[in-house]
Amino acid sequence: MFSVVVYFIVATFSTLRVYAIWNKDWRPALLVLLIGLCVPVANMYHYIPSIPGAFAWPLYGCGEATPLSDAQLANRELAIAIHSCAIAADLLVLILTWVKTYHIKKMAGILEANASFSTLILRDGSLYFGAMLILNVADLIITRSDVVFNPLPVFIDVLGGVGIAAFDRQQQSQRSFAELSNEISQAQVDLLHAQLAQFRSALAHYASTHRDRIRKEPSFRHAFQQMCTTIGVDPLAGPRKGGWWAEMLGLGDWQYELGVQIVDICVSTRERNGGLIEMGELIRLVSKLRGVGGDVITEDDVMRSIKTLQPLNAGYEVIDVGGGKKMVRSVPKELDADQAVVLAIAQEDGGRVSESALMARRGWTQDRARAALANMLLRDGLCWLDDQDELYGVSYWVPSAMRWDE
């Protein structure tokens, strides 16, 4: 009866294995279960009505009296049926495993993952079920022959239990490795937190020690900012982004103060430049507003302060007009490509631009140049009209590209 218990366990294990490999699809698992249960059920049909007995001389040993007919015993019909079911069950499990393995191999090829076909075959129990299939086929061949003693059933029973135990140990090993991996990962995370805390303390000490240089010297402030950007922190952010920086260095308030001054200059000059001011002119006016004792302002400082104004949705933006020139827009409107070209020409000529200059330098047609300048003059108010120009007769002056001595 021990063999019957083993056969039940093997059938159940094969079913669960197929159920897991086929992503919990019960249909192939049910087919494996029905075929696999034929083996223990047929053995129960043989063993339950049998009566054990002992052989006397000359054949010492144990035996049994079975209700099978002489014809059934002679033809070994029950043994052939049992072996056929066992072979069918093992073969079905192998086929289902290999079908799923083929799909995994195909997906691995699409994802360019390094997974050999032999590795995929061995990972899902194909070796165990293949060995069981070979032993059952060999057992069937021996059973149909005239061999008196057949040792294979004993090996099959033992291999069934040993194979299941090996799978269980494999699962335990995987769980142990997973737990160990989690412990190592947690230890690494704790170590990383400790290192980050130490790094933060060292960086904060450095920043507080050189606080005055950061505020006063533009080159040192820029180098400090580049270093912090590389490591992923923002020392000039406001309290909502980096409160401990703002508290320690006071740079958040400094950045917002500069932003307010930029808004003041842009609004006060909007009537004459249409909301577009050259970066150098803006820096000059802001520095003048801050006074002689104010910190030196750089282009990088202005750009960072303008970023702090973005949540206001007021349209403040830095525009690159080419040639290393930048302008600051303080009105919520977009510049088209032609207007950007006009601004670049105006930058080169001190603020003056004309139709003939655009036609000569950019190869525009007269209609295109006239339309671009008319839009900037009438629609957007970004330039002034000079109809008494000594050189061109009619020219346009872009206030944002002009220098204003105030």
Q: Which CATH class is domain 210-334?
A: mainly alpha
Poorest-confidence range of 165-174, 357-366, 389-398?
165-174
Question: Cα 146 from chain centroid?
Answer: 65
pLDDT at 293: 64
Of 233 and 382, more confident: 382
CATH architecture assigned to 338-406: Orthogonal Bundle (1.10)
Segment of 173-182, 306-315, 367-376 carrying the highest mean pLDDT: 367-376
Residue 33 has pLDDT above 80, yes or no: yes
Q: What is the pLDDT of residue 189?
A: 80
Among 285, 276, 278, residue whose Cα is nearest residue 382: 276
| Nearby residues of 174 by Cβ (< 8 Å), 6 or more positions away | none
Q: Higher-confidence residue: 337 or 358? A: 358
pTM over 0.75: no
pLDDT confidence band for 65 (50 / 70 / 90): low
What pLDDT is stored for residue 2 in this prediction? 63
Predicted confidence band of residue 371 (pLDDT cuts 50, 70, 90): confident
Mean pLDDT over residues 93-116, rounded? 72
How many other CB atoms sit within 10 Å of the CB of residue 384? Answer: 17
Residue 342 in this model has a pLDDT that exceeds 80: yes
The pLDDT score that the predictor gives to residue 127 is 73
Please say if the pLDDT value at position 92 is more than 70. yes
The CA distance from 305 to 161, in Å, is: 73
Q: What is the pLDDT of residue 231?
A: 66
* pLDDT over threshold 50, residue 167: yes
Average pLDDT over residues 3-20: 79
Q: Average pLDDT, stretch 386-397?
A: 82
Evaluate whether 210-334 and 338-406 have a shared fold: yes
Q: Tens of pLDDT along 119-152? A: 655 556 677 777 777 887 887 777 777 665 666 6
Give the residue-averaged pLDDT of 186-190. 79
Domain boundaries defined on the chain: 2-181, 210-334, 338-406
Query: Each residue of 258-311: pLDDT tens digit?
Result: 888 888 888 887 777 767 788 888 888 888 887 766 667 888 888 888 887 777
**Range in 69-78, 154-163, 181-190, 340-349 with the lowest mean pLDDT:** 69-78
Which pLDDT score, from 0 to 100, does residue 238 have?
44
pLDDT at 62: 67
Tell me the pLDDT of the chain averaged across its residues: 74
Instruction: Give yes or no for residue 406 having a pLDDT over 70.
Output: no
pLDDT band at residue 240 under the 50/70/90 scheme? very low
Cis peptide before 58 (omega within 30 of 0): yes
Question: What is the distance between the alpha carbons of residues 330 and 117, in angstroms, rounded to a whole number?
Answer: 63
Predicted confidence at residue 276, as pLDDT, reads: 77
What is the pLDDT at residue 191?
A: 81
pLDDT of 29 strictly over 60: yes
